[in-house]
């Protein structure tokens, strides 16, 4: 339904109503479309399509409803400043799109500055079990001969290559391989006996 300001000239205005009384037309009465009437009519006719539009933009139905409600409230407040009330629906669509963009910008900022979630902390039981396992490995390491223990510690705790271990221990790379293999086998058998 087109809206016209009360003072518009030209074709017959839609804000003029004629009252029929016993087959005769009474004098036309001018009714000014105020913001309440206009927004009520637009709301009843266009609320759902505008919510669908906003939902497609913001990907959230509840936020889409808020965006559309805010657009209607803003239009109601600016009704008197609206140059062409016939373009009220266009104004609403543009307002919904702009408000949806604003919501998306706000989400991006919030996500950018949101604190990073800490990884799940292991349970106390997990920590106790880990401590027992480490204690068992250390105890088993202590039982190994010195060269095997050195080779294993340098390889797996020091993360050194065979060449670096050979240089640090003053032995050949073949000896490093031999001490490491024997030490791993001894550790495996000790740890299997304790579990």
Using CA atoms, how far apart are residues 176 and 34, in angstroms rounded to an integer? 93
Q: Indicate the pLDDT class of residue 12, thresholds 50, 70 and 90.
A: very low
In this predicted model, which residue has the larger pLDDT, 43 or 83?
Answer: 43
Q: Indicate the pLDDT class of residue 62, thresholds 50, 70 and 90.
A: very high
Which pair of tokens denotes residue 75? Answer: 């239009």
User: Quick one: residue 117, left, alpha or beta (phi over 0 = left, psi -120 to 50 = alpha)?
Assistant: beta
Q: Indicate the pLDDT class of residue 63, thresholds 50, 70 and 90.
A: very high
Mean pLDDT for 93-108 is 94
Give pLDDT, residue 49.
Answer: 93
Mean pLDDT is lowest, of 3-7, 11-15, 158-162, for 11-15
Which pair of tokens denotes residue 109? Answer: 């900022």
Task: Show the domains of the chain with their CATH numbers.
Answer: 34-114 (no CATH), 126-194 (1.10.10.10)
Q: For residue 120, is pLDDT > 50?
A: yes
> How many other β-carbons are positioned within 10 Å of the β-carbon of residue 67?
26
Q: For residue 31, is pLDDT > 70?
A: no
Give pLDDT, residue 105.
Answer: 96
Q: What are phi and psi of 42, to 5 degrees?
A: -60, -40
Q: Are 42 and 96 in contact (CB under 8 A)?
A: no
Q: CA–CA distance from 155 to each of 131, 135, 143, 162, 179 (Å)?
A: 21, 19, 18, 7, 11
CA atoms lying within 13 Å on the CB side of residue 55: 10
Element (H, E) at 16: strand 16-17
In this predicted model, which residue has the larger pLDDT, 35 or 40?
Answer: 40
Residue with tokens 């809206």: 3
In this predicted model, which residue has the larger pLDDT, 187 or 10?
Answer: 187
Which pair of tokens denotes residue 64? Answer: 């889409």
Using CA atoms, how far apart are residues 77 and 179, in angstroms rounded to an integer? 85
> How many other β-carbons are positioned within 10 Å of the β-carbon of residue 111?
8
């Amino acid at each position: 339904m087109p809206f016209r300001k009360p003072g518009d000239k030209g074709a017959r205005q839609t804000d003029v109503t004629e009252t029929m009384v016993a087959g005769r037309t009474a004098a036309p009465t001018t009714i000014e479309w105020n913001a309440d009437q206009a927004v009520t009519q637009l709301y009843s006719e266009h609320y759902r399509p505008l919510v669908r539009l906003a939902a497609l933009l913001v990907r959230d139905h509840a936020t889409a409803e808020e965006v559309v409600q805010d657009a209607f409230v803003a239009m109601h407040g600016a009704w008197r400043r609206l140059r062409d009330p016939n373009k009220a629906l266009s104004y609403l669509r543009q307002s919904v799109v702009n408000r949806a963009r604003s919501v998306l910008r706000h989400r991006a900022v919030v996500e950018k500055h949101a604190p990073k979630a800490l990884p799940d902390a292991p349970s106390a039981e997990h920590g106790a079990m880990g401590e027992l396992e480490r204690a068992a490995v250390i105890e088993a390491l202590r039982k190994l001969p010195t060269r095997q223990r050195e080779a294993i510690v340098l390889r797996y705790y020091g993360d050194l290559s065979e060449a670096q271990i050979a240089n640090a221990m003053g032995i050949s790379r073949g000896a490093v391989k031999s001490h490491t293999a024997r030490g791993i086998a001894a550790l495996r058998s000790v740890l299997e006996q304790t579990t």
